[in-house]
Amino acid sequence: MTVDVALTADTAQAVLEAQPFSVLVGARMTQFGEGSATLEIPVRDELRQQNGFVHGGVLSYAADNALTFAAGTVLGANIMTAGFTITYLRPAQGVLLRADARADASTRRQALCRCDIYAVQDDGSEVLCAAAQGTATVKEPR
């Protein structure tokens, strides 16, 4: 039997901070609750690929985590990513990545979520650079 544990903003932040890769990329949660979550990552040279754009793996990381945190707002803390797809719309350039995710539909055991990833420019304008859709599911007890 799965125990339902609520995922609060404080717990979600602690989970993010406990992930070594999240710390490595400098991710921070700026919004959490009511079916949505937002992660931000400051863009720095170590996160770029050879052409100067933010590496696609960083965008995928942002989508995966934002989708799962959004799902956690409706499913609770005992979840994991079941899968996701991402479409890169244009190269990510700017000073900040922002991944806005929302849970669009859910049952007791899974949630379908969508995520838009924006590259925020020096002047504060935003460019949509990727979109993702994914599913998170309640973990089975061992």
What pLDDT digit, counting tens, does each position of 46-72 carry? 999 999 999 999 999 999 999 999 999
Confidence of residue 140 (pLDDT cuts 50, 70, 90): confident
Answer yes or no: are the C-beta atoms of 111 and 103 closer than 8 Å. Answer: yes
What is the residue extent of each domain of the chain?
9-138
Residue 49, pLDDT score: 97
Separation of first and last alpha carbons in the chain: 10
CATH superfamily of 9-138: Hotdog Thioesterase (3.10.129.10)
